[in-house]
């Protein structure tokens, strides 16, 4: 029977997808440890994890609200139930190590593990570390950074080691393109525009794309439009495959990347990491309310590298976003140059590197291995 490694993260796709990538890489690397995923009952993972071939647990974790602070009044009731769930989780699984990939689903799990002497790790995606990473960095044994700029903003403990690994993603599989074309009913003869606002969607981007389509400006391109579940009903009328496929949530996103010639998206670091690994040109529209405006920093860095067009949210109108799309669809040469620069920034093996460090951490918790004592 394998020992277990808990991989906690979720709430949004930006925290869940790294957890899934690490779980897949761990399963590929060894049968010595079983990956067990932990998420939140109210997160996007509640609908996704049951479709994946991993054991998982869903907890009563909820976000801590900063602007609508009065919604935190529920926390005394949530905390009691969550405490009982955590105790049962750790009693049942007895993990050798725990890694958190951020979000309100991971914080309580990483905290509990660290307080009970279980080796812990944190994977931080962004240049500006999230609240979970900042608060728990002193307790973690390992921190895996998606961007090295985050190191200066952390206060790791004396027993913490920080690694610059890049962000964990599912490595590109070019061989999936024929099946992905079939999924969307495409024949590969016209350029494909992939539009995504992340697991929550992006209303500003969706409205701009709707106006762009209303103006008939797709000019022979095929459009795969991932609206997000919250606003899908508003835009479902544009669904006319194979010319325009309107989808609430695309799983796996790799099917979209496999057929795309141009991507329009938010600028979360997992999306940026995936776009770079697949070598795709992009138009990035950062979420202006993201913590410390980190998406703007991500998008600006990509634009300065020549890999993307940076468009502030004030710009995605039928004219602003539409003009950027029109120009790139009309210029295969520019798309090719941007794709090369994106590919140069890609780190498709980040999940494998993280797992290598994580296995060292998990094995350190065993009193003996191969007859020799292992010291933490």
Residues 130-151: tens digit of each pLDDT = 888 888 999 999 999 988 878 9
Torsional class of 292: left (φ above 0), alpha (ψ -120 to 50), beta (otherwise): left
First-last CA distance in the chain: 23
Helix spans in the chain (H)? 13-29, 45-48, 75-93, 107-115, 131-136, 177-184, 203-214, 232-235, 254-259, 269-278, 294-304, 320-329, 332-345, 350-363
Q: In the β-sheet with 222-226, what is the strand arrangement from edge to edge?
A: 244-247, 222-226, 192-196, 262-265, 282-284, 308-310
Looking at residue 248, what is its pLDDT? 93
Looking at residue 297, what is its pLDDT? 82
Whole-angstrom distance, CA of residue 316 vs CA of residue 321: 4
Residues 192 and 330 in one domain: yes
Parallel, antiparallel or unpaired: strands 33-40 and 55-59: parallel
Nearest partner of 198 among 318, 289, 303, judged by Cα = 289
Looking at residue 173, what is its pLDDT? 86
Which element (helix H / strand E) includes 120? Answer: strand 120-124
Residues 193 and 165 in one domain: no
Residues 199 and 147 in one domain: no
* Both tokens assigned to 326: 């029109």
Q: What is the dihedral of CA 172, 193, 191, 256, to 10 degrees?
A: 30
Per the structure, the complete domain to which residue 191 belongs is given by 174-345
Looking at residue 126, what is its pLDDT? 84
Residues 156 and 213 in one domain: no
Whole-angstrom distance, CA of residue 63 vs CA of residue 60: 10
Residues 178 and 93 in one domain: no
Domain count, the chain: 2
Whole-angstrom distance, CA of residue 269 vs CA of residue 69: 27
Residues 192 and 264 in one domain: yes
Looking at residue 2, what is its pLDDT? 75
Radius of gyration of the chain (CA): 21
Count the neighbouring beta carbons within 10 Å of the beta carbon of residue 369.
11
Q: Check which CATH number belongs to the domain holding 235 and give it.
A: 3.40.50.2000
Residues 163 and 178 in one domain: no
Looking at residue 337, what is its pLDDT? 98
Whole-angstrom distance, CA of residue 233 vs CA of residue 248: 9
Residues 241 and 113 in one domain: no
Whole-angstrom distance, CA of residue 168 vs CA of residue 14: 11
Looking at residue 176, what is its pLDDT? 93
Residues 115 and 7 in one domain: yes
Whole-angstrom distance, CA of residue 357 vs CA of residue 354: 5
By the 8 A CB rule, do 322 and 215 touch? yes
Whole-angstrom distance, CA of residue 283 vs CA of residue 146: 21
Looking at residue 35, what is its pLDDT? 98
By the 8 A CB rule, do 344 and 337 touch? no
Residues 334 and 366 in one domain: no
Residues 321 and 353 in one domain: no
Predicted confidence pLDDT, tens digits, the chain (376 residues): 579 999 999 888 788 989 999 999 999 999 999 999 999 998 889 999 999 999 999 998 776 655 665 555 566 677 889 999 999 999 999 999 999 998 888 999 999 999 999 999 999 988 788 888 888 999 999 999 988 878 998 999 999 999 999 999 988 988 999 999 999 999 999 999 999 987 666 898 999 999 999 988 877 899 999 999 889 999 999 999 999 999 998 988 999 999 999 999 999 888 899 999 999 999 999 988 776 677 888 898 899 999 999 998 765 555 789 999 999 999 999 999 999 999 998 899 999 999 999 999 999 876 544 333 333 3
Residues 361 and 334 in one domain: no
Looking at residue 319, what is its pLDDT? 79
């Amino acid at each position: 029977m394998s020992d277990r490694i808990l991989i906690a993260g979720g709430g949004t796709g930006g925290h869940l997808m790294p957890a899934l990538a690490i779980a897949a890489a761990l399963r590929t690397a060894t049968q010595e440890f079983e990956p067990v995923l932990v998420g939140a009952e109210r997160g996007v993972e509640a609908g996704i994890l049951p479709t994946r071939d991993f054991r998982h647990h869903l907890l009563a974790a909820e976000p801590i609200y900063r602007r609508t602070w009065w919604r935190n009044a529920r926390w005394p009731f949530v905390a009691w139930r969550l405490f009982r769930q955590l105790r049962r989780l750790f009693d049942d699984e007895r993990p050798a190590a725990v890694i958190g990939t951020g979000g309100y689903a991971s914080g309580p799990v990483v905290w509990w593990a660290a307080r009970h002497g279980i080796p812990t790790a944190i994977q931080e995606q962004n240049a500006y570390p999230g609240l979970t990473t900042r608060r728990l960095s002193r307790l973690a044994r390992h921190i895996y950074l998606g961007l090295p700029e985050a190191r200066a903003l952390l206060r790791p403990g004396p027993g913490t080691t920080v690694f610059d690994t890049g962000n964990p993603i599912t490595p590109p599989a070019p061989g999936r393109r024929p099946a992905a074309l079939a999924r969307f009913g495409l024949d590969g003869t016209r350029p494909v525009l992939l539009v995504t606002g992340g697991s929550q969607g992006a209303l500003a981007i969706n409205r701009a794309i709707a106006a762009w389509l209303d103006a008939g400006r797709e000019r022979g391109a095929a459009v795969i439009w991932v609206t997000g579940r919250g606003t899908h009903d508003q835009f479902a009328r544009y669904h006319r495959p194979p010319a325009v496929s309107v989808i609430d949530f695309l799983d796996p996103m790799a099917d979209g990347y496999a057929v795309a010639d141009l991507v329009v998206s938010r600028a979360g670091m997992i999306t940026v990491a995936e776009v770079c690994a697949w070598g795709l040109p992009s138009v990035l529209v950062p979420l202006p309310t993201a913590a410390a405006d980190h998406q703007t920093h991500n998008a600006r860095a990509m634009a300065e590298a020549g890999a993307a067009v940076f468009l502030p949210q004030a710009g995605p109108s039928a004219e602003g976003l539409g003009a950027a799309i029109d120009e790139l669809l009309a210029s295969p040469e520019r798309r090719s140059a941007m794709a090369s620069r994106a590919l140069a920034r890609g780190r498709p093996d980040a999940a494998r590197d993280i797992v290598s460090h994580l296995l060292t951490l998990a094995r350190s918790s065993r009193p003996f291995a191969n007859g020799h004592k292992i010291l933490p």
